[in-house]
A and B are shown apart, each in its own frame.
Chain A
Amino acid sequence: MSLFKARDWWSTILGEKEEFDQGCLCVADVDNSGSGQDKIVVGSYMGYLRIFNPHPVKPGDGVQPEDLLLEVQLREPILQVEVGKFVSGTEGLHLAVLHCRKLCVYAVSGTLGNVEHGNQYQIKLMYEHNLQRTACNMTYGPFGGVKGQDLICIQSMDGMLMLFEQESYAFGRFLPGFLLPGPLTYNSRTDSFITVSSCRQVESYKYQVLAFATDADERQEPEQQKLSSGKRLAVDWILNIGEQALDICVVSFNQAVSSVFVLGERNFFCLKDNGQIRFMKKLDYSPSCFIPYCSVKEGTINTLIGNHGKTLNVYQDVTLKWATQVPHIPVSVKVANLQDLKGVIVTLSDNGHLQCSYLGTDPSLFQAPRVDSREINYEEFNAEMKELQKIIKEATKTQDILPKSEKHRDLIVTAEVSPDLDAESQAIDSEVKAEAVPSVTVKITIQSRVTAQKPNLAVCVQAPLAVTCDQFVFDDLEPDSSETVVLSVFLKGNCSPSELEGSCVVSYSTPTGIPKVAQCNFRLPLRLICFPAQSSKAANHKLTIDTNKPPISFLTIFPDFVDPSEDDQANVLGFQFLTGSKTTLLASKTSQRYRIQSDQLEDLWLITKELTLRLEEHFKKQNCKDFACTFSGSIPLQEYFELIDRHFELRLNAEKFQELLSERAVQFRAIERRLLTRFKDKTPAPLQHLDTLLEGTFREVIALADAAEENQANIFQAFTKLKSATHLVIMLISLWQKLSTDQIAILEATFLPLAEDTQEL
């Protein structure tokens, strides 16, 4: 992530399908030209050694043929190239090339031609060492403080440091506790080697200690080599950094104190010579390479860190000074003086992209891709837009969030209640204490005129009624097909329902994916919840309904309750509810009145409703249109208020239970928490009867929950009663005031108890 990108000064791509890594890049005046100009030496795993001297005509140029001073194939993978004073007797720079099993030191020399492209360069092998072990990396320096020459130390894959004093092999030492090689460097100030071991610690070994330790090669038995020679090698200092390192660099510039820089996988450390952390920085990216270089500010050191996000960051100590994007992931980065240009950043990627660049405020040319390059024809678009708006307008008319009544439905659902009760009752799990709980069959038919996908039928009756099955899922319906299901309704709860109606809803989606519903209601027979019984003369509550027509014999309007053989039932009829209470219906012989009486106010409702419904039906059949019921008595408000009070009291109870329950639950959790801390302790303290307390609280919670549940059942019953009574009161008011259907609807809407009984109210 950076605003700027590195300005390309010179770049090239090396070879094809060649691989490069950290050690493959080296920058130095390898041909001893004396001009102070650095050359770029690159070796590849494919064995190619190349030396470049870039001098672009203008920045950003590609490679010119004469930029490549030399290219040879060395027939063995090149692991690392270094330039130093490797040949005895001369202070000239020579090139050391590390292969897997060989170390070669070459002299690079050039002969000037007449013109620039006539220059010739060649390498000459000065000496080579065959290695007994597979090499990994190497470092060089004036080990032991020798003047004017560099010695080489090679680390093998199995952890042996092999030291070469130029043309001769000096000695080899095994590193203790070795598993995988880490980066290796030489600190000339303390004359020690620094590496990061597999134990994830920075380790420093004095050269002198190495030199005087037992020679690893003198040992005869390979087993002993690893075990004992390791122990002898005393470490100078150790710093545990807790991660593997990618690279180590030692810098000592004039103005800054000498420091050891370690680039870890997740952090970047700067250590003092004695192995203490001077500073560290947590990196929020995966670094790939780094190089410290001198800083303009006194006492600080700048560091270039490349990362896998293709960015080079420049830090001054821990402060990010600059970030720049590079076109590839650098595996190695160097700073060079090229063609009188100081401080060129040389980066190498693992597929051979070699670039020399410098920092600049060139913004990274990130071009967001064009979204849609289509030419905009405004007229056409306007026309299309209008067309679409029209469609949307049409659509919003018909498909709103709240469905409007549709005149013709694509899917029709009908419910047919069978006139007779089931011969064999289908009731299951009924809580009613009567001997036999009847049930009635409802046949529901879905007819579809269009394709309906995933139709889902839900049948719903008000509790305490219940159905044998309330959910049906069908396969997709073809146009003009139908489905039929049969189910039974019965009384489940032990109280009388307030309504004898049910509804069924079909939800489906059209092939275009619009969800739709269709529904219908059905009315259940009174016989489902009560049966004829002996009438009783006395009762607490009485209602009288006046009509404007002579009384009708119950034989005609209640044929399902009256036994025709008994004459006295023509004007007296007894109903016994399944739940036990009784209601009596009386028809006056002389006046045009009916009387309903019962011990419970709420029981009057269903019978009254049934009576008025059946009377209306009867007169409709006879084409008598002016039939009307009226009510002139007083509305039983007192009794109604009692029901309201009862219900309210239960609601208060419910609230109280809930409070208590949450209180106990909090207590329970508090005890649990205490127990948890006790059990987690390494030296468990005695429980101090916490377990008893826990169990006690648990019992209390359960008892409270039981009580709350019972209360809930009571609320439900009270609510049903209240609902019945409210219905009754509304009906009586409307009969009394002769209200129209619309007015009744408004009146019903004002009464809350007809809605749900929820906490929200």
Chain B
Amino acid sequence: PLGRRRGPSWRGCGGPAGGMGLEPEPLFQAWSYFRRRKFRQCSDLCSQLLERPPGEQEPDSEYTVFQAAWSLKTRALTEMVYVDEIDMDQEGIAEMVLDENAIAQVARPGTSLKLPGTSQGGGPSPAVRPVTQSGRPITGFVRPSTQSGRPSTMEQAIKTPRTALTARPITSASGRYVRLGTASMLTNPDGPFINLSRLNLAKYAQKPKLAKALFEYIFHHENDVKNALDLAALATEHAQFKDWWWKVQIGKCYYRLGLYREAEKQFKSALKQQDMVDTILYLAKVYLRLDQPVTALNVFKQGLDRFPGEVTLICGIARIYEEMNNISSAAEYYKDVLKQDNTHVEAIACIGSNHFYSDQPEIALRFYRRLLQMGVYNCQLFNNLGLCCFYAQQYDMTLSSFERALFLAENQEETADVWYNLGHVAVGIGDLNLAYQCFRLTLVNNNDYAEAYNNLAVLEMRKGHIEQARALLQTASSLAPHMYEPHFNFAILSEKVGDLQRSYTAAQKSEEAFPGHVDTQQLIKQLKQHFAML
């Protein structure tokens, strides 16, 4: 191999002048780069191989080298943008409301994720643990699906305030998938590597060795679900419906297209041929989207019979229990996860936050400290550590933790969280002036921070600035109608100044957000007596 064009990384490191270039075959080199996940170099090297005029190639292996390089480049480009499809989840408003798969409009308690209020596991009340918009207790680990509430009606979905953090796309077709799909434009300024419209899918479907890599490229890199589905359908036909992998891929495409029942069929058929952890996870995901958490749980449990101790399956069960507000079962399963894999960050974080909200900050502190020792080093962790330290009465560590959290904050939302917690600490030590300033700083960093508005209002109320307090509370309740605190505070405030009408409306809203709140019920009772007297 004399005078061969060299790969970019080999330039400048000349071998001894013996005529033999000290350089492996370019294809081998690219293959090795791929194995070491150096995808950029691998793709560049493959591009050079593909550009070479056929005459320069070795005559006997011309056909294969070209195909091999093409396939390798496809795989490298895919790996660069690969996100595990199981973790991808985003539900748009249209999917949620035009959900033609719902079996019953009003599901029985414990069988649906849409009714978060029914807690069977003795989960903490909203007075102790904050809830998300959909009324679920907040979790210790942010996943794509934890942010999406499920509003029950179209009206409610549209009414949900759209702050920068809660904005959801109208349909998932316009959401995060689209942003992922632009990868092809970023990586190749000259244009896409494969022009999908010119591709003869039927031809590729007959070559199983090329088709699988090509499918993943179309699905993950180009994000063109329809073409991917076409290819998968042709390929599975060519494989005489005997290849479970293609069935799973078809199922993935169907899922993306919102054809959940069809996806379910494909996954089930694939599972019949070959038990695979991924297939089980996909099937459970379909059931979750169909709002059948109990079926999903069964799928997971059957999967555990086949693959005992599989962390992803146990973790899936824990997540479902958590979403169904069955916190104690969720904690049990998270503990099982840790028995199998004691470095599982999600499980540690969830157990930690669970301890924190069940009034055991010392234990929560130990979990968070463990995360820190394991090398998790970010703002959120120090934020949690600071709060735990404070509630566990380790005041010396509190401020330094928050200091680090501020130092590590990557965006304004994180900074706002830290200042908000600092405000809490200040309230706790009775420095209302500092608390006031902390909450103000929270708002400077994140103007949509409803909790900070609420707390500021309480401080203003103490100072006797009724008008300010009222304005702040109104802002808070319009930003976060799912929180009961601003409504309740507003009700108390209005009642104090004698505005019974407003007090009553606010108290009703508070009751709607948190039906079990005793103080609200008392206030309503009191107000009703007033009205009766009038």
Q: Which residues of A pack against B, CB within 8 Å? A: 1-3, 17, 19, 21-22, 45-47, 73, 75-77, 79, 100, 133-134, 136, 157-159, 177-181, 197-200, 222, 226, 240, 242, 244, 246, 266-267, 277, 279-282, 284, 286, 288, 308, 317-320, 323, 325, 329, 331, 350, 363-364, 366, 368, 371-372, 389, 392, 400-402, 662, 665, 669, 672-674, 676-677, 680, 760
Residues from chain A with a CB closer than 8 A to the CB of B20 are: 75-76
The 8 closest A-B pairs by CB, nearest first: A198-B209, A242-B245, A673-B100, A179-B209, A320-B341, A77-B24, A371-B407, A282-B277
Question: Chain B: which residue is nearest A74 at the CB level?
Answer: B22
Evaluate contact between B309 and A244: CB separation under 8 angstroms: no
Evaluate contact between A3 and B373: CB separation under 8 angstroms: yes
14 A-B residue pairs with CB within 8 Å: A3-B343, A21-B36, A45-B24, A179-B64, A179-B68, A240-B243, A240-B274, A242-B244, A267-B278, A317-B309, A364-B375, A368-B372, A371-B403, A392-B437
How distant is B233 from chain A, measured CB to nearest CB, in Å?
12
How distant is A715 from chain B, measured CB to nearest CB, in Å?
20
Question: Chain B: which residue is nearest A247 at the CB level?
Answer: B35
Residue B505 at the A interface, CB < 8 A? yes
Contact string against A for B residues 466-502, beta-carbon threshold 8 Å, 1 for contact and 0 otherwise: 0110011000000000000000000000000000000
Given contacts A198-B71, A320-B343, A366-B377, A288 and B31 within 8 Å (CB-CB):
no
Evaluate contact between B437 and A100: CB separation under 8 angstroms: no
Residues from chain A with a CB closer than 8 A to the CB of B65 are: 158
Q: A529–B10 Cα gap in the complex (Å)?
A: 87
Q: A244–B307 Cα gap in the complex (Å)?
A: 21
User: Which residue in B16, B25, B275, B375 is a CB contact (below 8 Å) of A73?
Assistant: B16
Q: Give the residues from 343 to 399 in chain B that come closer than 8 angstroms, CB to CB, to chain A.
A: 343, 345, 370, 372-377
- Tell me whether chain B's interface is mostly helix, strand or loop, or mixed: helix
Given contacts A280-B277, A318-B309, A669 and B375 within 8 Å (CB-CB):
no
User: Which residue in A2, A17, A329, A400 is a CB contact (below 8 Å) of B468?
Assistant: A400
Q: Apart from A392-B437, A674-B100, what are 16 other A-B pairs with CB-CB below 8 Å?
A: A1-B343, A1-B376, A3-B370, A45-B22, A46-B22, A77-B22, A134-B27, A178-B209, A266-B278, A281-B311, A284-B311, A317-B309, A318-B308, A372-B407, A669-B98, A669-B154
User: Which residue in A2, A178, A363 is a CB contact (below 8 Å) of B343?
Assistant: A2
How distant is A321 from chain B, measured CB to nearest CB, in Å?
9
Residue B131 at the A interface, CB < 8 A? no
Evaluate contact between B154 and A364: CB separation under 8 angstroms: no
User: Which residue in B307, B341, B467 is a CB contact (below 8 Å) of A402?
Assistant: B467
In the complex, which range does the number of interface residues on chain B fall in? 35 or more
Residues from chain A with a CB closer than 8 A to the CB of B75 are: 244
How distant is A226 from chain B, measured CB to nearest CB, in Å?
8
Residue B60 at the A interface, CB < 8 A? yes
Residues from chain B with a CB closer than 8 A to the CB of A676 are: 98, 100
Given contacts A45-B24, A318-B340, A401-B471, A75 and B32 within 8 Å (CB-CB):
no
Evaluate contact between B244 and A240: CB separation under 8 angstroms: yes
Contact string against A for B residues 448-479, beta-carbon threshold 8 Å, 1 for contact and 0 otherwise: 00000000000000000001100110000000
Evaluate contact between B340 and A319: CB separation under 8 angstroms: yes
Question: Chain A: which residue is nearest B244 at the CB level?
Answer: A240
Q: A329–B37 Cα gap in the complex (Å)?
A: 11
Residues from chain B with a CB closer than 8 A to the CB of A199 are: 208-209, 212
How distant is B70 from chain A, measured CB to nearest CB, in Å?
10
How distant is B378 from chain A, measured CB to nearest CB, in Å?
11
Residue B301 at the A interface, CB < 8 A? no
Residue B28 at the A interface, CB < 8 A? yes
Evaluate contact between A240 and B245: CB separation under 8 angstroms: yes
Residues from chain A with a CB closer than 8 A to the CB of B244 are: 240, 242
Question: Chain A: which residue is nearest B12 at the CB level?
Answer: A17
Residues from chain A with a CB closer than 8 A to the CB of B308 are: 279, 318
Evaluate contact between B309 and A319: CB separation under 8 angstroms: yes
Residues from chain B with a CB closer than 8 A to the CB of A389 are: 433
User: Which residue in B22, B67, B274, B404 is a CB contact (below 8 Å) of A179?
Assistant: B67
Residue B320 at the A interface, CB < 8 A? no
Q: A402–B468 Cα gap in the complex (Å)?
A: 6
Evaluate contact between A200 and B22: CB separation under 8 angstroms: no
Evaluate contact between B37 and A308: CB separation under 8 angstroms: yes
Q: A199–B24 Cα gap in the complex (Å)?
A: 25
Evaluate contact between B245 and A277: CB separation under 8 angstroms: no
Q: Give the residues from 48 to 76 in chain B that come closer than 8 angstroms, CB to CB, to chain A.
A: 60-61, 64-65, 67-68, 71-72, 75
Q: A246–B31 Cα gap in the complex (Å)?
A: 11
How distant is A761 from chain B, measured CB to nearest CB, in Å?
8
Q: A450–B229 Cα gap in the complex (Å)?
A: 64
How distant is A672 from chain B, measured CB to nearest CB, in Å?
7
Instruction: Select the residue from A100, A136, A157, A177 with max chain B CB neighbours within 10 A.
Output: A157
Evaluate contact between A323 and B403: CB separation under 8 angstroms: no
Evaluate contact between A267 and B100: CB separation under 8 angstroms: no
Evaluate contact between A179 and B309: CB separation under 8 angstroms: no
Evaluate contact between B208 and A136: CB separation under 8 angstroms: no
How distant is B355 from chain A, measured CB to nearest CB, in Å?
19
Residues from chain A with a CB closer than 8 A to the CB of B403 are: 371-372
Q: Give the residues from 257 to 280 in chain B that come closer than 8 angstroms, CB to CB, to chain A.
A: 259, 274-278
Evaluate contact between B37 and A677: CB separation under 8 angstroms: no
Residues from chain A with a CB closer than 8 A to the CB of B312 are: 282, 284
User: Which residue in A197, A242, A372 is a CB contact (below 8 Å) of B209?
Assistant: A197
Residues from chain B with a CB closer than 8 A to the CB of A226 are: 64
Residue B324 at the A interface, CB < 8 A? no
Q: A680–B262 Cα gap in the complex (Å)?
A: 10
Q: A24–B472 Cα gap in the complex (Å)?
A: 67
How distant is B216 from chain A, measured CB to nearest CB, in Å?
10
Evaluate contact between B15 and A46: CB separation under 8 angstroms: yes
Residues from chain A with a CB closer than 8 A to the CB of B155 are: 662
Given contacts A47-B15, A77-B24, A179-B67, A318 and B154 within 8 Å (CB-CB):
no
Q: A17–B100 Cα gap in the complex (Å)?
A: 60
Question: Chain A: which residue is nearest B270 at the CB level?
Answer: A242
Question: Chain B: which residue is nearest A320 at the CB level?
Answer: B341
How distant is B220 from chain A, measured CB to nearest CB, in Å?
13
Residues from chain B with a CB closer than 8 A to the CB of A277 are: 275
Residues from chain A with a CB closer than 8 A to the CB of B68 are: 157, 179-180
Residues from chain A with a CB closer than 8 A to the CB of B404 are: 368, 371
Residues from chain B with a CB closer than 8 A to the CB of A244 are: 75
Q: A198–B31 Cα gap in the complex (Å)?
A: 13
Q: A673–B275 Cα gap in the complex (Å)?
A: 34
Residues from chain A with a CB closer than 8 A to the CB of B44 are: none
Given contacts A1-B376, A240-B243, A662-B155, A179 and B311 within 8 Å (CB-CB):
no
Residues from chain B with a CB closer than 8 A to the CB of A392 are: 437
Residues from chain A with a CB closer than 8 A to the CB of B275 are: 277
Residues from chain A with a CB closer than 8 A to the CB of B208 are: 177, 199
Q: A731–B308 Cα gap in the complex (Å)?
A: 83
Q: A75–B20 Cα gap in the complex (Å)?
A: 7
User: Which residue in B13, B245, B307 is a CB contact (below 8 Å) of A200?
Assistant: B245
How distant is A138 from chain B, measured CB to nearest CB, in Å?
13
Evaluate contact between A323 and B343: CB separation under 8 angstroms: yes
Residues from chain B with a CB closer than 8 A to the CB of A319 are: 309, 339-341
Residues from chain B with a CB closer than 8 A to the CB of A372 are: 403, 407
Residue B173 at the A interface, CB < 8 A? no
Residues from chain B with a CB closer than 8 A to the CB of A308 are: 37
Residue B8 at the A interface, CB < 8 A? no
Evaluate contact between B36 and A331: CB separation under 8 angstroms: yes
Q: A177–B72 Cα gap in the complex (Å)?
A: 16
Residue B81 at the A interface, CB < 8 A? no
